[in-house]
Chains A and B, each alone.
Chain A
């Protein structure tokens, strides 16, 4: 379809109103694109620039006086790696668990003959609109004994109803005949799910796992609510701490310098440190971005609108 559209637009010479539209579209969207990208470039540039130039506001959208000391300081002198380890565990374990629960819930509910599908589907819809509130949920987390553990960080998204319904709808759209033939070959429900249904649903499963992965990686509120020790801090909490307490970090740093402790380069400034921490936290998202490009756009069309 897009192909035919292209040939049409190429054949007919541009009229005056077309040309004006194209020019306006290019100008407006280039401005939007720059607004989206420049703040990111600015923060990354600051992370790698000389401290004096950061403080003087001489860093724009490219490193000014390249140095790696700030990044080095963030990596070695702060608890970045503990936070990274926690984030990776929550993100990997969480995505895995969520995918299991989502698939195993969506599969039975996608079968038209399944007895009880209406009641159970209704339970999930009800849970989407009724919410106990953040304080009751906090009390439950404390009561069941998972407070301040990885499980508490995973619990809130162990099954996201909306994602489950997307997968269920996709399963419903699969041709039934293939599943039937598997049944005739003697495959049980689990075999059919693992070796027939899941491989056939790769696009939707990829999209949903990406949604879960990003949700876990970006989650700040629940981790803050359900954990209280520095050892359990994830990257988001660590970053928030650096941004808000950059000043005290810097004071520690200089007092260390004056008391004859570790000598720290004047390149490590409060601003530079915040920038370096943000930059480090951006890396995983940027690394995932090619997959995001590939699967998210189709994901949006599959789910049409996020609730």
Chain B
């Protein structure tokens, strides 16, 4: 810091202009660039209407919401009476809550355990394919399902695995019992994990592949000179170079564990498999839109948002500490 008082004062003035001067600069800048501020309006309108306005709706969780209490659904929130934490108490005491929480963690946990390593293996192997044409063809084939909606994926697998689908025709012709993939509680989670992998592996493979192409070729040459075979150079060069990407992807997966799989489950499930497939968000949806129990549904949604928020911010902190990379 500066030693003399004079210098210190100048430093202060340099670094911290008074609010009045700041405001003055701001007004001058706005006057010079009015269009830059006008440009922000469309984005901000959407932001406030669709992202911030619903935050007010969270108060429904603490009220006994009656949709007909006001002139419109939002006005009705203001006119509904406060009930404190009643909805949360009821929710946490219900067996349904434990069930959907368990389902969310189990299904998404399975997905991480079984699906996380596959794109890494795919990317490493894809990098070993000699023919450029075949490499591209394989990449395209594996990548394409990523662009299908969950409804299309549902249609494709229904066609394949439905009671009279081709797979069950084979099973029946082999003299075995048909497997009810979509209604049997024993196999439904497996179906969710498999279709998730089918749709998403290609996308993640491309991410790892991009990281592999960024590895310095000199490292492989050095490994080769040191007498490393293919497996050794994969183990000692490729994997360590991929480690930051792998860790980041894992952090993201865990961070978003409560937020994934909603649309998939919503499209695939049915009343027969609610016991094993109903996750927090599908239950929020059915409580609200099906049973019109808006307050309790919002309470559960709020619980989900708060836990998800903690997880995501936690994931971001870990990522920043460990990898010096921020998610946003």
Contact = CB atoms under 8 A, between A and B. Distances in A.
Given A18-B230, A130-B305, A33 B166 contact: no
Contacts of A34: 141
B198 interface: yes
Contact of B159 (A46, A107, A134, A301): A46
Given A24-B125, A243-B158, A214 B46 contact: no
A109 B39 CA distance: 10
Given A32-B201, A271-B164, A101 B46 contact: yes
B260 to A, nearest CB: 12
- For chain B, the bracket of interface size reads 35 or more
Nearest to B157: A39
A115 B151 contact: no
B217 A5 contact: yes
Nearest to A38: B160
Interface in A1-29: 1-2, 4-5, 8-9, 12, 15-18, 20-22, 24-26, 28-29
Nearest to B295: A135
Contacts, number: 297
A278 to B, nearest CB: 4
B122 interface: yes
B208 to A, nearest CB: 10
B213 interface: yes
B213 A135 contact: no
Contacts of B217: 1, 4-5, 8
B229 A281 contact: no
Interface string B134-169: 100110111011011111101111111010111001
A87 B262 CA distance: 22
B133 interface: no
Contact of B58 (A9, A24, A136, A155): A136
Contacts of B249: 305
Contacts of A293: 140
Contacts of B229: 15-18
Contacts of B35: 188-190
B322 to A, nearest CB: 14
Interface stretch (B7-15, B86-94, B296-304): B296-304
B149 A129 contact: no
Interface residues of A, number: 111
Interface in A220-277: 220-221, 225, 236-237, 239-240, 243, 271, 274-275, 277
Contact of A142 (B72, B121, B159): B72
Contact of A274 (B73, B150, B159, B294): B159
Given A57-B170, A300-B210, A40 B156 contact: yes
A161 to B, nearest CB: 8
B266 interface: yes
Interface in B93-108: none
Interface of B: 25-26, 29-30, 33, 35-37, 39-40, 42-44, 46-47, 49-58, 60, 72-75, 77, 121-122, 125-126, 128-130, 134, 137-138, 140-142, 144-145, 147-152, 154-160, 162, 164-166, 169-170, 173, 198, 201-203, 206-207, 210, 213, 217, 221, 224, 229-231, 234, 248-249, 252, 262-263, 266-267, 281, 284-285, 288-289, 294, 297-298, 301-302, 304-305, 309, 312-313, 327-328
Given A104-B43, A105-B42, A123-B44, 16 more contacts: A43-B156, A107-B36, A133-B298, A135-B298, A136-B58, A139-B74, A142-B72, A158-B46, A159-B46, A159-B47, A240-B151, A243-B155, A271-B162, A300-B203, A300-B210, A305-B252
16 contacts: A8-B221, A9-B130, A42-B159, A56-B169, A108-B37, A127-B47, A130-B305, A133-B57, A133-B301, A143-B75, A189-B39, A217-B149, A220-B263, A240-B267, A275-B155, A304-B207
